[in-house]
Each structure stands twice: as C-alpha cells, then as structure tokens.
Amino acid sequence: MPELLRASWVIARRDFAAIIFSKAFFFFLLGPIFPLAIGIAAGSIGGQVARDIDKNSFALVMDAADSAAALKARTSLATQLGEQRVPVLVAVETDDPDSVIASGKDTRYLGVLTGSLAEPRLIGTKDEVERWQGPLELLVERAREGDSAAPARIATRLVTESSGSVEQGRLVTAQVGQALLVLLTMLLAGMVLSNLVEEKTNKIIEILAAAVPIDAIFLGKLFAMLGMALIGIACWTSLALLAILLAANGLPQLPAPAIGWPAFLALGVAYFAMAYLLLGSLFLGIGAMASTVREVQTLSMPATMGQLIFFFLASFSVTRLGEPIELFAAIFPFSSPFAMLARAAQQDALWQHLLALGWQAFWVLLLIRFGARLFRRNVLKSGGGKRGLIAGMFGRA
C-alpha cells in the first residue's frame, strides 16, 4: 500500500502541475464567469422588460374627484395586498378614452378605467379584462367608500419559527445543497473521461505501466483532478461570496441545517470529494478504453445522462426521508453523497455520515481496481477473460 500511495503521489503531482500551470486552467477558472455574465445580462434585460411589461398600469380617465378617490383607494389597497396585486392607475386627461390604448399609441397601459366611480367602465383586451376586472372592482368599491371603511387591523404576535417552518426550511437547505453538489460534480467529473488519452496518444502509458501499478496511475490521476476541482471551487466560491457581499446587504439567508453550518459545510466538501471520486473513477475506467479524443467525446453524453439519473434519484428522495427510496439513494454508491448531504440538512446524527463516507471510499477503491483491471485486460491485453478480471480484482496490483 505505501508503494501504491507513493506512486499515486508521483502521478498526481505531475498531472496537477501540468493542469495548474497550463493556460487552459486559466480558462477553466474563467468558465463559470461566462454563463454568469450571460445570466446577469439576460436577467438585466429580462428584468427591464418585466418591469416595463409588468407595471400593470391602467389609464384612469375620470373626473378629478373620482380620479383622486380612485388613486387614494389604490394606495390603500396596495399597502394591504402588495404592490403587485393591485394595478397601477395613471390619471390621463382625454375626451376619448379609447384612443389611449388605440393601436399605434402608447403601449404602457393594459387598459383604461373610465366612466365614473358610480358607473365605471373597463376598456381592454379580453385577457387583461379577465385578469384585472376583480382587483379593479375591489379598488372602485374602496374608492366609493372613501375614508369610512378603515381597514381592520389584527393584532399579531410573532414567533421565530414553527415546527413546520423548520422542517420546510431544512428541506430547502437540503435541496439547495444537493443541487449545488450535483452541479459541481456534473461540471467537473466528466473531465476525467479524457484523462488517459494524453498518455495513450503520447505512448507514455507503456513507461507508466512498467514502473507503477495501473491502480496507482488511476488513483493519482483522480486525485490530481480532484485537487484541480477543489481549487476551482475555492476560487469560484470566494469570488461569489465577495460579489454577494459587495452587491447586496449580505449573504442570502438559508435555514440552518440540522447538523449545523460548520459540520454541514465540512460534509459538503467531503461528499463532493466522494461524489467526484466515485463518478470520476467510473468515468476514468470508461474513458481509459477510448483511444482518441473523438471516442471520449462520444462517451461523454451517456456519462452525463448517467449522472442525471443519479441526481434524479437523489432529488426524488430528498422529501422522503426514511422511506425505502431514500434509503436506497443513501446506500447506492453513486447517489449516496447527494442523498447523505440532504440527510445532513434534515437530521443531526453524525455517525451515519462517517459510515457513508467509509462506504463510499470503499466503492471508490473498488471502482479504481475494476477500472485498472479492465484497462490491463482490454488496452494492455493482459490477463484472461471475465474470470481473470474478477480474480484480478482481489489479486496483487
């Protein structure tokens, strides 16, 4: 074992240095900025469009007294119901209410509220009228009543949380944590697919295979990629935190997980490492069979689909804590890290995580061993058939 670890370290060190000091790594670090920038740009444009569209403005064409009463009623209702639920009224002076929303005119208004408070009329398209008729009737009713109908006030006493809200909050934390874990694993684990192509293309594999066990090559490559992934994540997380702190008032508030934030974050890192190593060892084994970049590209699609299945399994089970499907997701190696992180948000027992991490580590070693055997048999043409493959799993490296 020490020799295996030593050899893995030699491979990992070489790979890690080759990745970190390459120009490509800079672009890797910049990677998330592109979708973020597009997202911000799209969000900004979309927001502007939404603001323009969702003003819910109606032109108010009534006499001065009715208009004033309607505007006052609108303010009162918006305070109680919320700004978005009550249409905005803009007083417009015109003798021809239809002309306000006539084709080719100003498109700021969804319709026109005209007539008088006693006999109001709503002009607009069928959809807008159906949507806003109710709120506008309420508004007109309030305007007719004037100050006589003061809104009822209910005395309140606030509690910090209810049992239902704690559970609900932790579920949200579980889902957010799981989604982040899946996203990062999906982004990064697929890169392992092409990890042995360089060695095979440049004929280096022969030198490596003659000097160290194939298991050590696989293990070293996997840990080098994990190191790179963790550096990327640390970098992106720091930048994201900085951006949030600079742009907003503070971090978005997520409900505290059952196990507490420090343990949850530590487990998040540990489960990411395990998810990465589990999927990575599987992908490395599959990718090692490919001899060209094109073959690797062909393999990446089914690999991504496989990841999605594990994600669906884990996310489906997140609301079914303790049920058979959730237990299966927690035990099945490839969904286990995701399911267990969701558990950490909802249950405070620590022992189950130690057990799960041990179980996942066992599978990582098993997959590396299997991948290495498969590589020896199919690529190096060493060892026998299926029997040799199975026997080799438990033989010497």
Partner 1 sequence: MTANAIEAHGLVKIFGRQRAVDGVDLTVPAGSIFGILGPNGAGKTTTLRMLLGIVDPDEGTRTLLGTDHPLDVARRVGYLPEERGLYPSMKAYDAIAFMGALRGLPLAEGRKRGRAMLEEHGLGKAADKEVRTLSKGMAQTVQLLGTLVHEPELIVLDEPFSGLDALNQAKLERMIRAQAARGVTVIFSTHVIAHAERLCERIAIIAGGKVPFAGSVSEARDRLRPQVRLETRALDGAWRAALPADAVPEGHFWHFTLPETGVEPLLRALIEGEAGIQSLSIERPGLHDAFVAIAGADAARQLEEDQQQESADA
* Position 145 contacts partner 1 (CB under 8 A): no
- In whole angstroms, the minimum distance from the beta carbon of 3 to partner 1 comes to 8
Beta-bridged to residue 123, according to DSSP, are 112
Reduced to 3 states (helix: H, G, I; strand: E, B; else coil), residue 250 is coil
Q: Which residue has the tokens 């799993």?
A: 393
The contacts found for 290-293 with CB under 8 angstroms, 24 or more apart, are 290/193, 290/194, 290/197, 291/197, 291/200, 292/197, 292/201, 293/194, 293/197
Q: Which residue has the tokens 């957010």?
A: 176
- Spell out the residues 6+ positions from residue 291 whose beta carbon is closer than 8 angstroms to its own: 197, 200
- In whole angstroms, the minimum distance from the beta carbon of 202 to partner 1 comes to 5
Nearer to partner 1 by Cβ, of 211 and 393: the residue is 211
- Contact residue for partner 1 among 5, 22, 125, 183 (CB under 8 A): 22
* Position 292 contacts partner 1 (CB under 8 A): no
- In whole angstroms, the minimum distance from the beta carbon of 371 to partner 1 comes to 17
Cα–Cα distance, 143 to 397 (Å, whole number): 85
* Position 375 contacts partner 1 (CB under 8 A): no
* Position 381 contacts partner 1 (CB under 8 A): yes
Give the binding range for partner 1 (CB under 8 A) out of 231-239, 284-292, 336-344, 382-390.
382-390
- Contact residue for partner 1 among 78, 129, 235, 397 (CB under 8 A): 397
Q: Which amino acid is at 90?
A: V
* Position 205 contacts partner 1 (CB under 8 A): yes
> Per CB under 8 A, which of residues 209..248 are in contact with partner 1?
209-213
Token pair for 243: 């951006």
* Position 74 contacts partner 1 (CB under 8 A): no
Cα–Cα distance, 305 to 282 (Å, whole number): 14
* Position 24 contacts partner 1 (CB under 8 A): no
- Give me the residues that bind partner 1 (CB under 8 A), please: 6-7, 10, 13-14, 18, 22, 198-199, 202-213, 376, 380-384, 396-397
